[in-house]
């Protein structure tokens, strides 16, 4: 199981992460980021791509 | 020891290339050369948070993955020359580094004004962390700030300086700020929102002179107007950092010219098989648009290019010819994406907006939240929204040119 954390003080809701890991990240109807705090291991690479592309460097894995 | 992969430029493009090489199985020697003293950091906050608050390198530094543990960093040391035939790079301290493969990730630097008797203090540009910190200390309430150049970075700096209590005047050449990327209607709308916050615009004007001895005190414009000025910010666009490549057979006109597999090209158009460019410094084709090449100075490009070069080069160095050929054949074909924050306006855009011949309101209300489409004929080449992000995102995969429009 992957554990994922987004620092909501940093996140500016740009939604760049949504394209790399749509199973984990989404913008809701108010354009705010929603994400799953846990995901299947098969999502590791996608979430890593989202971590790299996030302009605010807000996403991390929780060890 | 085998010769290393050498990456020149220790910022986002260089960092992501090094990471992807390692993650793709390249375990050989890897050297990253950077002229800045800092470890790689994130630039977009430089015209926003870093100017507005007391932010240090820690707050903008990229996390360094464990896979980079045995990378040799040579920071605070510029590449000053390269010999692509002998496969060497020469550094400012005289060191000569041999390479097996070279990745050019040197980005851009601001174009600066060239005036006689330029005062030593009070004139700034924003590209590096040191630039932003030097400027921040001068953005005090009541300061007269003149921003020359009305592009994104200029307009973001205008918003940030106004929020800090400065009196800001933006001087720019077209009728409206950000005209080329956004088109007249949306640009005018954003200008009005800036004006409502107290930013003054002097458009269709050029700076002709700077006053002041030790420190800038005023600027003169070609319209005859003179503006008081305590702080002048030059945001006039950028020049590619390619000087160290001079003297080689490599096309560095307006950036390092690369092919769809991101190999640097000779002036004849033939590819260097072991030289690549990534990020702002690269001039590349985007097949979903057209064969023309351009630099795209947006945030998603360095990372996407680095992913391709890192993976492709790891296969090349591992001698896996078939897998390498497959990777080379996957042409780099990104959707450029950018955002910009200016006061309450948060823009999100995809595509090549400046290619459009026709701009149409797609959704929402001008002056409020809205989405504009950028078209060539029936093809949407770009989309830009103020707010309404999930809707803007839904257009992302639709941008491109289906036919050639001569
Ligand atoms: C103030 C500012 C705000 C921005 N805001 C946004 C935004 O809101 N949205 C957006 O999409 N994009 C934005 N961008 C653009 C984005 O930051 C760039 O696209 C990105 O930084 C490019 O990364 P890069 O690695 O290609 O180049 P750079 O980040 O420019 O890195 C190049 C590095 O190479 C070094 N170097 C240069 N020459 C040499 C040499 N000879 N030897 C050794 N090292 C060398 C440079 O000093 C630098 O450290 C902004 C940029 C700036 C400057
Ligand atoms: S990419 Fe980063 S800033 Fe953007 S929505 Fe995702 S977590 Fe937030």
Tell me how close the Cα of A30 comes to any Cα of chain B, in angstroms.
8
What's the average model confidence in pLDDT over B103-131? 94
Angle at B141 between CA A56 and CA B152, to 5 degrees: 40
Percent of chain A with pLDDT over 70: 100
CB contact under 8 A, A14 and B389: yes
CB contact under 8 A, B389 and A31: yes
Atom of ligand 2 nearest to the CA of A14: 4
| CA neighbours closer than 13 Å in the CB half-sphere of residue B69 | 2
pLDDT band at B367 (very low <50, low <70, confident <90, very high): confident
Residue B403 has a pLDDT of 67
CB contact under 8 A, A13 and B389: yes
CB contact under 8 A, B388 and A12: no
Interface of B with A (CB under 8 A): 16, 19, 42, 44, 62-63, 299-300, 303, 307, 337, 339, 341, 346, 348, 387-390, 393, 396
| Predicted confidence (pLDDT) per residue in B235-254, tens digit | 999 999 999 999 999 999 99
Calculate how far, in angstroms, residue B279's C-alpha sits from the geometric centre of ligand 1: 8
What's the average model confidence in pLDDT over B37-65? 91
**Phi, psi (degrees; rounded to nearest 5) at B104:** -95, 115
- Counting one residue from chain A and one from chain B, the pairs whose CB atoms sit within 8 A come to 40
Query: Does position B406 have pLDDT exceeding 50, yes or no?
Result: no
Residue B112 has a pLDDT of 95
Q: Which of A15, A28, A56 sits opposite B393 (nearest CB)?
A: A15
Interface of A with B (CB under 8 A): 12-16, 18-19, 27-29, 31, 49, 52-53, 55-57, 60
> Can you read off the two tokens belonging to residue B59?
């707050």
Residue B404 has a pLDDT of 57
Atom of ligand 2 nearest to the CA of A56: 3
Q: Which residue of B has its CA nearest to A27?
A: B390
Q: How far apart are CA B310 and CA B340, in angstroms?
A: 29
| Predicted confidence (pLDDT) per residue in B15-48, tens digit | 999 999 999 999 999 999 999 999 999 999 999 8
CB contact under 8 A, A55 and B299: yes
How confident is the prediction for chain B on average, in pLDDT? 95
Query: Does position B309 have pLDDT exceeding 90, yes or no?
Result: yes
Dihedral in degrees, nearest 10, Cα atoms B124, B126, B129, B133: 40
ipTM: 0.85
Angle at A11 between CA A7 and CA A14, to 5 degrees: 150
Residue nearest to atom 8 of ligand 2 (CA): A11
Q: Which of A15, A19, A52 sits opposite B303 (nearest CB)?
A: A52
How confident is the prediction for chain A on average, in pLDDT? 92
Query: Does position B391 have pLDDT exceeding 70, yes or no?
Result: yes
Query: Does position B164 have pLDDT exceeding 50, yes or no?
Result: yes
Atom of ligand 1 nearest to the CA of B338: 11
Residue A56 has a pLDDT of 84
Percent of chain B with pLDDT over 70: 99
Residue B118 has a pLDDT of 87
Residue B15 has a pLDDT of 96
Atom of ligand 1 nearest to the CA of B244: 41
> Can you read off the two tokens belonging to residue A25?
């990240």
Instruction: Find out whether B352 and B381 touch, Cβ atoms under 8 Å.
Output: yes
Residue with tokens 């100075």: B297
């Amino acid at each position: 199981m992957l554990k994922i954390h987004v620092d909501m003080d940093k996140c500016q809701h740009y939604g760049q992460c949504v394209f790399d890991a749509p199973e984990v990240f989404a913008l809701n109807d108010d354009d705010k980021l929603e994400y799953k705090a846990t995901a299947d291991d098969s999502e590791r690479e996608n979430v890593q791509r989202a971590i790299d592309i996030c302009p605010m460097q807000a996403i991390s894995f929780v060890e | 020891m085998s010769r290393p992969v050498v990456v020149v430029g220790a910022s986002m493009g260089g960092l992501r290339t090094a990471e992807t090489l390692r993650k793709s199985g390249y375990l050989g020697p890897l050297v990253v050369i950077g002229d800045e003293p800092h470890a790689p950091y994130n630039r977009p906050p430089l015209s926003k948070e870093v100017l507005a608050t007391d932010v240090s390198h820690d707050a903008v530094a990229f996390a360094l993955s464990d896979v980079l543990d045995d990378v040799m960093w040579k920071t605070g040391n510029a590449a000053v020359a390269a010999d692509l035939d002998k496969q060497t790079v020469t550094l400012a301290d005289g060191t000569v580094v041999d390479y097996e493969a070279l990745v050019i990730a040197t980005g851009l630097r601001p174009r600066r004004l060239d005036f006689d008797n330029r005062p030593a203090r009070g004139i700034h540009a924003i590209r590096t962390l040191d630039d932003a910190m030097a400027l921040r200390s001068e953005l005090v309430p009541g300061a007269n700030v003149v921003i020359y150049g009305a592009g994104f970075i200029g307009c973001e700096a205008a918003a940030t300086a106004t929020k800090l209590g400065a009196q800001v005047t933006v001087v720019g050449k077209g009728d409206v700020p950000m005209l080329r990327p956004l088109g007249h209607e949306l640009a005018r709308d954003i200008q009005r929102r800036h004006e409502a916050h107290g930013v003054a615009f002097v458009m269709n004007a050029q700076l002709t002179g700077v006053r002041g001895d030790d420190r800038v005190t005023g600027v003169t414009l070609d319209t005859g107007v003179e503006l008081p000025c305590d702080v002048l910010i030059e945001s006039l666009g950028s020049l590619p950092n390619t000087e160290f490549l001079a003297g080689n057979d490599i096309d560095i006109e307006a950036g390092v010219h690369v092919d769809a597999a991101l190999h640097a090209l000779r002036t004849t158009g033939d590819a260097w098989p072991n030289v690549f460019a990534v990020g702002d410094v690269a001039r590349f084709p985007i097949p979903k648009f057209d064969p023309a090449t351009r630099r795209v100075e947006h945030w998603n490009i360095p990372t996407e290019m680095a992913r391709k070069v890192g993976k492709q080069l790891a296969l090349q160095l591992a001698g896996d010819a078939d897998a390498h050929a497959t990777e080379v054949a996957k042409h780099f074909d990104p959707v450029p994406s950018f955002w910009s924050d200016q006061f309450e306006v948060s823009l999100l855009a995809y595509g090549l907006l400046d290619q459009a011949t026709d701009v149409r309101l797609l959704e929402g209300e001008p002056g409020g939240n809205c989405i504009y489409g950028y078209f060539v004929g029936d093809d949407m080449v770009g989309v830009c929204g103020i707010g309404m992000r999930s809707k803007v995102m839904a257009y992302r995969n639709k941008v491109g040119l289906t036919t050639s429009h001569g």
